[in-house]
Amino acid sequence: MTRQPLINADRLWIRLMALAEIGATPAGGVNRQALSDGEIAAWRRVIGWAREVGLTPSTDAAGNLFLTLAGRDRAAPPLLLGSHLDSQPTGGKFDGAAGVMAALEAVVSLVEQSDKPARDVIVVAWMNEEGSRFAPGMMGSEAFTGGRGMDAIRAVRDADGVNVGEALDRLHQAFPDMPHRPLGFAAGAYLELHIEQGPLLEAAGCTIGVVTGIQGKKTFQVVVEGAEGHAGTLAQRERRDALAAFAQVANALHAEIGAIDADIKFTIGRVAVVPNAPSVVPSRVSFSIDLRHPDNTVLDVAGARIKALCQENAPPCSVTVTPLVDAPSNVFDPRLRASIAKAAREQGHAAMAILSAAGHDARHLAKVCPAAMIFIPCRDGASHVEHEWAEPDHVGAGAAVLAQVLRELAFAPGIEA
């Protein structure tokens, strides 16, 4: 007898491509940033698909979207699975969205093929994972797990001066009849599928990555303050050129921090110059630092050197270094990892253990419940770009592995730590 497929892979792909139409860019990517009109439209489409099989939508103060399949024991901690719907401004079709759509397909197939699960099963789309419009990212999952307060989150502004609070209120106004959950609730487990965003699975010829954990990350905002001056009349020795000071600081940081070892990842990203005029000595430069390493000791030592290096190299300008994110490396639940590896093996997929170099919402969920991630390959390891691509067979395979693990958990009495 032929075994019934765990999911409908064709339906999953069609819906994933339909979702990619919302915020589609001319170059084939997606611009659907957090709490934008595009994300509101994505909510409407995903909620529509969920309601077709009786899932109930709800949200919370942080703008997370929950789609609930009721279980037999409504009081038991539910199973959560999902990712995020927001993208980078020049993002791709798969980052985040593949995880939400794979989770939805796993639950839809569960409804179509199985009895009511032992506990609630909830598909979740976390608010502002990317941090492209509002920085830093992972606001929804961090608020949900108690890592960041809503007052601080609501105060963050985008480049146009709109704060998160205003954007959240607008999101909720678009869904006036949607029930609101309390912010944060006990979860039995969390599962997240994601493209790898790196080249290792593709290079190894593996379809499934069993994610061991996520490397640690620290971010900083640095502001160098100097003084404006006329480019044609102010002598070099009298200048407090913020851009020149930034160049000295950046060079020192790259020379020391960027050369610590082969595993360090040091990036100076967004840079803003004031007044940014051709004939005016720059008075202010602000820039971001992204620092990552799998070893928390190395990460802490490197992070501690950043402020000192900035202060040593900024004169005659002044400098302020503000830490933003401090996320240590984490390890995912070994039982869930074993279940993922078992499902991959039984379905005939080549699999390997892999450390996530990028950050994900699962990092925060792992603090409050058993959590794990499934990676699938992406072409050339490219992500956060418009040509980001995952093969339909790989998306389907990852979703089928997710569905098998979900079914094992959904009918079990409990896996809480």
172 assigned ligand-binding residue? no
Is residue 416 over pLDDT 60? no
Alpha helices in 146-284 (DSSP H): 150-155, 164-174, 200-204, 242-256
State the pTM of this model: 0.90
d(CA 45, CA 395): 20
Whether the link from the prior residue into 117 is cis, omega within 30° of 0, is no
Contacts of 309 (CB under 8 A, 6+ apart): 249, 252, 253, 256, 257
Would you state the structure tokens that stand for residue 187, as one six-digit string?
């979860």
84 assigned ligand-binding residue? yes
Q: 242: closest CA among 272, 263, 267, 270?
A: 272
Is residue 94 over pLDDT 50? yes
238 assigned ligand-binding residue? no
Between 177 and 416, residue with greater pLDDT: 177
387 assigned ligand-binding residue? no
Query: Domains in the chain, start-ordered, CATH in brackets?
Result: 9-215+329-411 (3.40.630.10), 216-327 (3.30.70.360)
Q: Which run of H or E residues covers position 392? A: helix 392-410
Q: What is the pLDDT of residues 301-353, one digit of tens each?
A: 999 999 999 999 999 999 999 999 899 999 999 999 999 999 999 999 999 99
Residue-level pLDDT at 115 = 86
- Matching residue, tokens 């961090």: 142
Contacts of 162 (CB under 8 A, 6+ apart): none
Compute the average pLDDT of residues 99-114: 97
Is residue 1 over pLDDT 70? no
194 assigned ligand-binding residue? yes
d(CA 362, CA 182): 20
Whether the CB-CB separation of 386 and 91 falls below 8 Å is answered with: yes
The answer to which of 30-34, 195-199, 205-209, 408-412 has the lowest mean pLDDT is 408-412
